[in-house]
Amino acid sequence: MSDLLLPPEKRYANIINQRRNEDGSELSILNLGPTHPATHGIFQNILLMDGERIVDGEGTVGYIHRAFEKIAENRPFYQINVLTDRLNYCSSPINNMGWWMTLEKALGVEVPKRVQYMRVIVMELARIADHIICNSVLGVDTGALTGFLYVFQYREKIYEIYEEICGARLTTNMGRIGGFERDWSPTAWAKLDKFMEEFPPIWEQFENLLTRNRIFMDRTINVGAISAEKAISYGFTGPNLRAAGIDYDVRAMQPYSSYEDFDFNIPVGKSGDTYDRFCVRNQEVWESLSIIRQALAKMPEGPYHADVPDYYLPPKEDVYTTMESLIYHFKIVMGEVPVPLTEVYHAVEGGNGELGFYLITDGSRTPYRLHFRRPCFIYYQAFNEMVKGQMLSDAIATLSSLNVIAGELDA
């Protein structure tokens, strides 16, 4: 039996004994997690330490596994949206929109241009919220609380916009097949405009606090670096890959929801270390703001949902008065919608990488199989290799800059 199959603490106990006999060094085991506040989520890492330095580590994941893929096989399509919320809960609208787009691809639903632009706006807002959390918390983990307090207020403003759009804040359950459940209210647009006006100077302040900050740079440069080749092999996507110098972005490679209409840059880093990841995310926030600005300027007129009565719930008033609406309402709620026999893979650029949905339908009311390609799950396996030989406090900064979200990791 391979040594790696043993529980890590047993494996490390053997190594400790061996090393003590060999050269008298005194290694020790450190159990980090599962509920350590610095890990921002429920992961356990069992580390083999030589003083403050990490010799080896093994992560245990799955503490908040909620069997989403199994549940998805037992729920009608519209009820799966709430599961996607709880993947990367820092940017749930991206997950929601990704799921609707997957379904629309499978069902062959054409979405009006206006809806696509509105989706771009919420997805970019979600990306900003995601990057606010990641970067400001990276500041906290390296000892700078101020920046966090400055920008977190603006995450709250983004949540207020969500609230106007869909009524919820964190787990948004936003949208329907073919569009949005209601048109955005004037308040929502006003709040969005206000945010677009107030947030950029704050983000600039935040950047000024950290980007050239001596302490922050010392704590992050050359910490948790990964080469581009390794990153590709480990399946990195999103900002973490771009920090290593590869300009892969699903929004540009396979534009969905009219991303091809917008002009934006893909910021890349060079060394793939914590500092570069931080800088790439900072830049991406500016790009997201620019995309939102363009979408607002070009926002076409039109309906807020596609004309697909088979899948889109009729207005509630009509359900009580017209026969046809009642029938559609009943059929949609009971999940009896026409579903072709097909399989699709649809990817969106999530907050931390390529979020993919692999859906197989068999013509029944539920997916036959639904697999989420969760970027966190795939790149978190590189973590132990990235921190090997580094100090414990560097491992915390690295973990924080990777933006590993437990909900997405564990599904």
Kindly tell me the sign of the dihedral angle through the C-alpha atoms of 237, 238, 241, 245.
positive
34 binds other proteins (CB under 8 A): no
**Tokens representing residue 75 in the block:** 């729920």
The binder of other proteins chosen from 26, 215, 343, 389 (CB under 8 A):
343
Nearer Cβ to other proteins (200/255)? 255
Contacts to other proteins from residues 57-96, by CB under 8 A: 61-62, 65, 67, 69-71, 73-76, 79
411 binds other proteins (CB under 8 A): yes
Q: How far is the CB of 119 from other proteins (least distance, A)?
A: 19
Q: What is the distance between the alpha carbons of residues 194 and 200, in angstroms, rounded to a whole number?
A: 11
Site string for other proteins, 91-130 (x = CB under 8 A): --------------xx------------------------
Q: Which residues contact 56 (CB under 8 A, 6 or more apart)?
A: 12, 15, 47, 48, 384, 388
Q: What is the DSSP letter of 179?
A: B
Instruction: Check if the beta carbon of residue 390 is closer than 8 Å to that of residue 384.
Output: no
The binder of other proteins chosen from 373, 386, 397, 399 (CB under 8 A):
373
Q: Of 43-51, 89-97, 377-385, 388-396, which part binds other proteins (CB under 8 A)?
A: 377-385
For 378, other C-beta atoms within 10 Å of its C-beta total 16
The binder of other proteins chosen from 148, 234, 259, 311 (CB under 8 A):
234
Q: What's the length of the chain?
A: 411
Nearest to 335 by CA among 373, 366, 375: 366
Q: How far is the CB of 46 from other proteins (least distance, A)?
A: 14
What are the C-alpha distances in Å from 319 to residues 116, 135, 182, 311? Answer: 27, 47, 16, 15
382 binds other proteins (CB under 8 A): yes
27 binds other proteins (CB under 8 A): no
311 binds other proteins (CB under 8 A): no
Q: How far is the CB of 296 from other proteins (least distance, A)?
A: 29
251 binds other proteins (CB under 8 A): no
Say how many residues touch other proteins, by CB under 8 A. 51
Instruction: Check if the beta carbon of residue 399 is closer than 8 Å to that of residue 138.
Output: no
**Tokens representing residue 344 in the block:** 């699709």
Q: Of 36-44, 109-117, 322-330, 338-346, which part binds other proteins (CB under 8 A)?
A: 338-346
Q: How far is the CB of 183 from other proteins (least distance, A)?
A: 29
The binder of other proteins chosen from 122, 165, 313, 347 (CB under 8 A):
347
- What residues form DSSP beta bridges with 356? 347, 373
Strand order in the sheet with 28-32: 28-32, 44-50, 53-60
327 binds other proteins (CB under 8 A): no
302 binds other proteins (CB under 8 A): no
Q: Which residues contact 306 (CB under 8 A, 6 or more apart)?
A: 104, 109, 110, 111, 112, 115, 177, 178, 179, 312
Nearest to 178 by CA among 116, 251, 259: 116
254 binds other proteins (CB under 8 A): yes
Nearest to 376 by CA among 99, 39, 56: 39
The binder of other proteins chosen from 371, 384, 392, 393 (CB under 8 A):
371
Q: Of 165-173, 190-198, 226-234, 289-297, which part binds other proteins (CB under 8 A)?
A: 226-234
Contact set with other proteins (CB under 8 A) = 2, 4-5, 61-62, 65, 67, 69-71, 73-76, 79, 105-106, 230, 232-235, 248, 253-254, 334-335, 342-345, 347, 354, 356, 358, 360, 364-366, 368-369, 371, 373, 377-382, 410-411
